[in-house]
Amino acid sequence: MVTAACGTDGAESAQSSSTVTVTESDVPTSAGEQASSEAPSTPVAGSAAAEATASAASGAPIMRFRKDANVNANDFYGPGAGVNAKFFQSPSGNVRCGIDFDDPQIPSGCQASTSVRSNTGVTCLNRGNSVYSTQLISGAAVSKCVNQPFFVGGSGNPGQDTVGGRVLQYGQIISVGGTTCESAAVGISCWANSVGFTLARDRNDTYDPGYGQR
């Protein structure tokens, strides 16, 4: 599991100073925190976003691969909380992600300002040192609570307008370093080694190997 050198929220041991503290809180999320969908807009018919939305209605979005990418990953490269990666965020700004970190020990993943209890049962506070995150670790998509802006681009320079990283617009797919992510109305979905997840304001799902494979 990924851990960090800074303070914990109920606490796993630190492995390195470049990783983040994660916890699995049992504090229930209030009904008021289960807000509306990540995006109210309807994706354009035939677009990648529409395809993912239709697939999500019956389970996981369609698994995406490197060949599906339609943006240049290098356009998303920049600093985060002490380490560079390809950072991006959903159009709403609620979900923020980092993939292909310069430090290979840091997994690709996303975190949300607000989300819901994960389908694996992990519950976070949606504030402070306990916000929802999903990370692609050792061939698994793992739901956690994090206490730092670990997947937030520009978090080391909070005065900048770029905090959160460049927006990955609906229908855009980024692929680099073995991880492929898509932005859609259902949220941001990422895949690596045939496992994946979707994280959004009202969705927090992880997928077993091959689930959603086309």
Q: d(Cα 78, Cα 89) in Å, to the nearest integer? A: 13
Print the domain residue range for 31.
26-207
Q: What is the pLDDT of residue 208?
A: 87
Is 145 a domain residue? yes
What are the φ/ψ torsions at residue 178 (nearest 5 degrees)?
85, 0
Q: What is the pLDDT of residue 157?
A: 53
Locate all alpha helices (DSSP H) within the chain, ordered by sequence.
48-56
Q: Which of 211, 204, 199, 184 is nearest to 68 (CA)?
A: 184
Is 202 a domain residue? yes
Is 12 a domain residue? no
Q: Which tokens in the block code for residue 30?
A: 């209030």
Judge contact between 111 and 96, C-beta under 8 A.
yes
Query: How many folded domains does the chain comprise?
Result: 1
Is 212 a domain residue? no
Angle at 151 between CA 150 and CA 153, to 5 degrees: 105
Is 42 a domain residue? yes
Is 10 a domain residue? no
Beta bridge partners of 112: 95
Q: d(Cα 179, Cα 9) in Å, to the nearest integer? A: 28
Q: d(Cα 109, Cα 103) in Å, to the nearest integer? A: 14
Is 20 a domain residue? no
What is the dihedral angle through the alpha carbons of 185, 150, 86, 52, rounded to the nearest 10 degrees? -20
Give the pairing of strands 203-207 and 77-79: unpaired
Q: Which of 66, 99, 105 is nearest to 85 (CA)?
A: 99
Q: What is the pLDDT of residue 1?
A: 39
Q: Which residues of the chain have pLDDT under 70?
A: 1-59, 155-162, 213-214
Is 181 a domain residue? yes
Residue whose pair of structure tokens reads 């916890």 in the numeric block: 23
